[in-house]
Amino acid sequence: MKRRNIVAGNWKMNLTVAESKELASAVLAEIGEGFSGCEVGVAPTFVALSETGKVIESGSLFLAAQNCHFENDGAYTGEISARMLLAAGCSYVIIGHSERRQFFGETDVIVNRKVRKALQEGLNVILCVGETLEEREGGITGDVVTRQVKGGLDGIAGIGELVIAYEPVWAIGTGKTATSEQAQEVHALIRRTVAELYGTEAADCLRIQYGGSVKPSNAAELFAMPDIDGGLIGGASLNAADFAAIVRAAC
């Protein structure tokens, strides 16, 4: 089964609007026409979405948000809904990133409500899962990731084009990448879990990104694994040349 690789730059809480526009232009210039074989996008902060969207409109990068709320509107000070993101030009939203789970108390139940709402509104989802170092050392990586996948997708009838990102927490921003074998093992487990829930055809079509210290130097090896279908890139996505090199490795 040949799945189309998907690479997204998660810019996290970095860059002003002007800096985001600048980086988006630089990314387009660096990757040129070199990404027809895969899907590539960027996830700026909420305030930079519209302006960054205008820059990438002419190219074929997709625009993603880093989070959303689970209601469309209402008295939720400081929050942004999936409906608003769609109207701002987003086609994807990242949900359940470990930083959201760790620093903002997002549980599987909250993540699930967000995934449901985003899909309902027609926004595609990158659902993030991944174990902490303690969980890996405790030998419960499989249990944690399976629980997060099942929890995140609870009650969802069909996953359509939803993407899952496996991001081991101990590899995020630490410079420690999971070996391609370690990543492959968890990716295969995620695919088996999705097969259990939605059947083998849906599981075969599901794209599973790896995230956690992906760099130009390790991207090709990771993306060569049978169940790794691209990457969710943090730090390296803030440098246009590095991001472009990773995109080339995926395409």
Nearest to ligand 13P of 53, 168 (CB atom): 168
**Is 44 an interacting residue with respect to ligand 13P (CB under 6 A)?**
no
**Shortest gap between Cβ of 167 and ligand 13P (angstroms)?**
5
Largest CA distance in the chain: 48
Identify whether the C-beta of residue 93 lies closer than 8 Å to the C-beta of residue 118: yes
Is 187 assigned a catalytic role? no
DSSP 55-75: HHTTTT-EEEES--BSSSSSS
Residue 176's contacts (CB-CB under 8 Å, 6 or more residues apart) are 170, 212, 213
Is 69 assigned a catalytic role? no
Binding mask 113-152 for ligand 13P (x = CB under 6 A): ----------------------------------------
Identify whether the C-beta of residue 216 lies closer than 8 Å to the C-beta of residue 245: yes
Nearest residue to ligand 13P, scored by beta-carbon proximity: 234
- Strands 62-65 and 163-166 come out as unpaired
Nearest to ligand 13P of 198, 209 (CB atom): 209
**Is 233 an interacting residue with respect to ligand 13P (CB under 6 A)?**
yes
Q: What phi-psi label fits residue 5: left (phi over 0), alpha (psi between -120 and 50 degrees) or beta? A: beta
Residue 202 token pair: 């849906």
**Is 235 an interacting residue with respect to ligand 13P (CB under 6 A)?**
yes
Identify whether the C-beta of residue 240 lies closer than 8 Å to the C-beta of residue 32: no
Residues of span 56-115 touching ligand 13P by CB under 6 A: 97
Nearest to ligand 13P of 230, 235 (CB atom): 235
Residues of span 211-230 touching ligand 13P by CB under 6 A: 211-214
Nearest to ligand 13P of 230, 234 (CB atom): 234
The catalytic residues are 97, 167
* Chain residues that interact with ligand 13P, rule: CB under 6 A: 10, 97, 167, 172-173, 211-214, 232-236
